[in-house]
Amino acid sequence: MPIQTVEEKKIRLKGLSCATCATNIERALRKSGYDSASVNFSTGIVLLRGDAERAKHVIKQVEPEVEFISASEKEEEDLRHPLYYIVPALVLFIAGLIFRYWYPIGGIALTLPLFGAAYGIVGWRVLRNAGMNLIHGKLFDENFLLVIATFGAFAIQEYPEAAGVMLFYVVGEFFQDMAVGRARSSVKSLLSLKVDRAHRVSNDGTIDIPLGEVNVGDIIVVRPGERVPLDGKVTSGRSTLDTSALTGESVPRSTGPGEEILSGMLNLSGLLRITVTKLLKESTLTRILELVESAGARKAKTERFITQFARYYTPAVVGLAVAIGVIVPLITGGSFATWGYRALVLLVISCPCALVLSIPLGYFGGVGKASKQGVLVKGSNFLDSLARVGIVAFDKTGTLTKGVFQVTRVVPADGWTDEALLHLAAQAEQGSNHPIASAIQSAYSGSLNGSLATLHEEIAGEGVTARIDGKQILVGNDRMLHHFEIPHTTCDVPGTVAHVAIDGNYAGYLVIADEVKDDAPATVQQLRSLGVNKVVLVTGDSAGVAAAVAKQVGVDDWYAELLPGGKVEIIEKLESEKAPGTTLAFVGDGINDAPVIARADVGIAMGGLGSDAAIETADVVIMDDHPSKLVLGILTARKTKRIVWQNIVFALGVKIGFIGLGIIGEATMWEAVFADVGVALIAVLNAMRILRSN
Q: Which of 280-289, 291-300, 340-349, 527-536 has the lowest mean pLDDT?
A: 291-300
Inter-residue contact 255 to 233 (CB < 8 Å): no
pLDDT digits (tens, 9 = 90+) for 659-669: 888 888 888 77
Rounded CA-CA distance 137/380 in Å is 32
Our answer to whether residue 395 is catalytic in this structure is yes
Q: What is the pTM of this model?
A: 0.64
Helix, strand, or coil here: 448?
A: coil
pLDDT, one tens digit per residue, over 141-192 is 667 777 877 887 787 777 887 787 788 778 767 776 666 666 555 555 555 5
Averaged pLDDT, 475-497? 79
What's the confidence (pLDDT) of residue 89? 87
Distance CA 453, CA 451 (A): 7
Q: Does residue 249 or residue 213 have the better pLDDT?
A: 213
Lateral strand order in the sheet of 197-202: 205-210, 197-202, 219-222, 272-276, 232-236, 260-261
Q: What is the pLDDT of residue 606?
A: 83
Q: Which residues contact 377 (CB under 8 A, 6 or more apart)?
A: 295, 366, 367, 370, 371, 383, 386, 619, 620, 633, 637
Task: Find all residues with CB under 8 Å of 504, minimum gap 6, and list them.
Answer: 472, 484, 486
Q: Tell me, what's the pLDDT at 79?
A: 47
What is the arithmetic mean of pLDDT over 510-528? 89
- In single-letter form, the type of residue at position 72 comes to S
**What is the pLDDT of the chain when averaged over all its residues?**
79
pLDDT at 288 over 70: no
Catalytic residue among 384, 395, 625, 676: 395
Compute the distance between CA of residue 475 and CA of residue 508 in angstroms, rounded to an integer.
10
Q: What is the CA radius of gyration of the chain?
A: 33
What is the per-residue pLDDT for 342?
A: 86
- pLDDT tens per residue, range 15-47: 676 666 777 788 788 888 887 777 766 567 788
Q: Note the pLDDT of residue 48.
A: 81
Q: Which of 84-88, 126-130, 289-293, 361-365 has the lowest mean pLDDT?
A: 289-293
What is the residue type of 694? N
The pLDDT of 282-289, averaged and rounded, is 72
Residue 135 half-sphere exposure, CB side, CA atoms within 13 Å?
10
pLDDT computed for residue 530 by the predictor: 93
Q: Is the pLDDT of residue 505 over 60?
A: yes
Per-residue pLDDT reduced to its tens digit, 239-251 = 888 776 665 455 5
Greater pLDDT, 107 or 76: 107
CA dihedral 559, 562, 567, 570 (to 10 degrees): -40
- Please tell me the distance from the alpha carbon of residue 688 to that of residue 202, in angstroms, as a whole number: 47
337 burial type by CB count under 10 A (0-12 exposed, 13-18 middle, 19+ buried): middle
pLDDT tens by residue, 641-654: 998 889 888 888 88
78/262: higher pLDDT: 262
Decide if pLDDT at 7 tops 80: no
Q: Which residues contact 80 (CB under 8 A, 6 or more apart)?
A: none
What share of the chain has pLDDT > 90, as a percent? 14
Domains observed in the chain: 8-69 (3.30.70.100), 215-278 (2.70.150.10), 374-400+517-638 (3.40.50.1000), 402-515 (3.40.1110.10)
Q: Give, in degrees to the nearest 5, the angle at Cα 141 between 137 and 144.
A: 80
End-to-end Cα distance, the chain: 52
Cβ-Cβ contacts under 8 Å for 75 (sequence gap 6 or more): 12, 14, 44, 69
